[in-house]
Amino acid sequence: MSTKDEGGLSSPVVIERRGAIAIVSLDRPAQRNAMSAALVSDLIEALDHLEHDSEIGAIVLKGAGRGFCAGSDLGMLAAMDATQRMRFEADSGRLARAIGHCRCPVVAAVHGFAIGGGLTLAAACDVVVTTPDAKWSLPEVPIGLFPAWGLGAVIARTGMPAARRICWGVDTLSGQAAHDIGLADMIAVHAEADALAHAEQLAALPRAHAGMVKRYFASLVADEQADAAANRLFHEATLSPEALASFAKFGGR
């Protein structure tokens, strides 16, 4: 099943149902599943729809093509003004919090790469399965930007010192390293297959009680104020010469 955007075009989010499991795919493979405004909006809409579908007990979130998600679409950001950029990043943070508040357990299947917003999107999921050779990084600071949302989930998974080092962007982690510091819960050569198997276990639990677990932990991790503070730092960073040079580079592609 593929949703449609307002113009009748195919959505960058595709939903497939397998029994009690919904497989939600980021479907911009030519753009490395970079997060556009349409992708973020459609993914929020998909989660809301599945939230109210009593037949669905768990969700698998994956990326089409070569990897999971390369983060925000920098070409799109380059074409936006400051207010539009902050609004887009705020919507992305709302997406990550929607994963935490969703009734259904959400299992991320990461292969290839989880970069920038792709890393924070995966970290927001309840369970993360990664291939051992996937590349994980937050490259914003080296190009003059700042991670604008989702850092609360990273801190909750890795602890403060590791999260701070990841945010500096000096390291690219393998899937194995991401697992070792807690960014990922499981390692599998075939991440999607293992994510599906785990999602089936979660979907077999009593739905109301699985949802109680979600509500409890969401109250500890989802932090709108922290995302708002990160968004303000992101805005400040976008005014720097380094950020302007990066926007000029990616906007010209």
pLDDT bracket for residue 4 (50, 70, 90): very low
Q: Quick one: tokens of 180?
A: 């070792």
Model confidence at 241: pLDDT above 60: yes
Tell me the pLDDT of the chain averaged across its residues. Answer: 93
DSSP 33-101: T-B-HHHHHHHHHHHHHHHT-TT--EEEEEESTT-SB--B-HHHHHHS-HHHHHHHHHHHHHHHHHHHH
Q: Which pLDDT does position 131 carry in this prediction?
A: 98
45-75 pLDDT tens trace: 999 999 999 999 999 999 999 999 999 999 9
pTM of the predicted structure, to 2 decimals: 0.94
What share of residues in the chain are helix, strand, coil (percent, to 5)? 50, 20, 30
Q: Which pLDDT does position 253 carry in this prediction?
A: 56
Model confidence at 6: pLDDT above 80: no
Q: Which pLDDT does position 8 carry in this prediction?
A: 46
Length of the chain: 253
Q: Which pLDDT does position 3 carry in this prediction?
A: 44
- For residue 17, the cross-strand partners are 22
Residue 215: Cβ within 10 Å count: 11
Share of residues in the chain with pLDDT > 70 (%): 95
Domain encompassing residue 51:
2-251
Model confidence at 7: pLDDT above 50: no
Number of domains in the chain: 1
CA end-to-end distance (rounded Å), the chain: 31
- Is residue 134 within 8 A of residue 178, CB to CB? The reply is yes
pLDDT bracket for residue 219 (50, 70, 90): confident
Enumerate residues 6+ apart whose C-beta is below 8 A from 97: 124, 218, 222, 224, 227
Region 179-205: mean pLDDT is 98
- Residue 138: closest CA among 236, 71, 233: 71
136-191 pLDDT tens trace: 999 999 999 999 999 999 999 999 999 999 999 999 999 999 999 999 999 999 99
78-114 pLDDT tens trace: 999 999 999 999 999 999 999 999 999 999 999 999 9
Q: Which pLDDT does position 222 carry in this prediction?
A: 62
Q: Which pLDDT does position 150 carry in this prediction?
A: 94
- Distance, in Å, from the CA atom of 85 to the CA atom of 235, rounded to the nearest integer, reads 8
Q: In this structure, what DSSP letter does residue 9 have?
A: P
CATH number (domain holding residue 96): 3.90.226.10
- Distance, in Å, from the CA atom of 111 to the CA atom of 151, rounded to the nearest integer, reads 21
